[in-house]
Amino acid sequence: MKNIIIFGAPGSGKGTYSDEIVSRYNMGHISTGDVLRGEIKNGTELGKIADGYIQNGQLIPDELMINILAKTYDAMPAGKGVIFDGFPRTIAQAEALKQMLAERKHDMGVMIELVVDEETLLARLLNRAKEQGRADDNEETIKKRFAVYHNQTAPLAEWFEKEGMRNTFTWKGSKEQMLSEIFAFLDKQ
Ligand code: ATP
Ligand code: MG
């Protein structure tokens, strides 16, 4: 399988669909949110820096994030495609990813955009707050994350469009339907 970039607002299902895609196509998976939460849990220097940004609903600075991503990517088993979940989130990150992959003679692959209405997103995140207790899943931080998404991340969809990589899937109320549309598309890649 080619590389896949999964893109969407907080709560759009990036992690959920990534897991399904990984098991169907036997790919590698990089979730930058999970990487950062692991660092926080282990009390590393990086974790200490990341914690403040995450609790505030802000993005980790690009330069730091790009370095983490490159390190994580280079530690993945070679030869399989990788699904990028939660990266890139800014134009600078997208440009850096493009350059990093070009340097390694790897293809960027395809981008999957998950479009979900905001009411559904909020309900999902509040529900996840009860189930998983993530530090950033409270109403105040969620609102900040939505604003960051609209201002810094959403404009990236156009960037992918220009790269000819954008493939949009819109939530219509059923995970099964969404998954079968995504699989039908990926089966052709
Ligand atoms: P979901 O997991 O439901 O899609 P999300 O996209 O908000 O929600 P994560 O991807 O887990 O959650 O990211 C959590 C937080 O980690 C972000 O709010 C941000 O602070 C930080 N983070 C993750 N990826 C990046 C990135 N590429 N650049 C900067 N910060 C990041
Ligand atoms: Mg996630």
Pocket, ligand 1, Cβ cutoff 6 A? 10-12, 14-15, 32-33, 36, 53-54, 57-60, 65, 86-87, 89, 93, 136, 145
Percent of the chain at pLDDT exceeding 70: 100
> Which protein residue has the closest C-alpha to ligand 1 atom 5?
10
pLDDT digits (tens, 9 = 90+) for 31-55: 999 999 999 999 999 999 999 999 9
CATH number corresponding to 4-183? 3.40.50.300
Residue-averaged pLDDT of the chain: 97
Amino acid identity at 57: G
Amino acid identity at 45: E
Domain boundaries, the chain: 4-183
DSSP line for 36-99: HHHHHHTT-HHHHHHHHHHHTTPPPPHHHHHHHHHHHHHTSPTTS-EEEES---SHHHHHHHHH
Place of tokens 């530090």: 135
Mean pLDDT of 168-176: 97
Amino acid identity at 93: Q
What the block records as the tokens of 78 is: 């070679």
Q: What's the gap in Å between 11 CA and the centre of ligand 1?
A: 10
Count of C-beta atoms within a 10 Å radius of residue 74:
10
Amino acid identity at 184: A
pLDDT score at 27: 96
Q: What's the gap in Å between 86 CA and the centre of ligand 1?
A: 6
What the block records as the tokens of 9 is: 């607002």
Q: What's the gap in Å between 32 CA and the centre of ligand 1?
A: 7
Q: How far apart are CA 97 and CA 126, in angstroms?
A: 31
Place of tokens 């820096």: 49
pLDDT score at 79: 86
Say if residue 88 is preceded by a cis peptide, omega within 30 of 0.
yes
Phi-psi region of 105 (alpha: psi -120 to 50; beta: other; left: phi over 0): left
Q: What's the gap in Å between 85 CA and the centre of ligand 1?
A: 9
pLDDT band at 78 (very low <50, low <70, confident <90, very high): confident
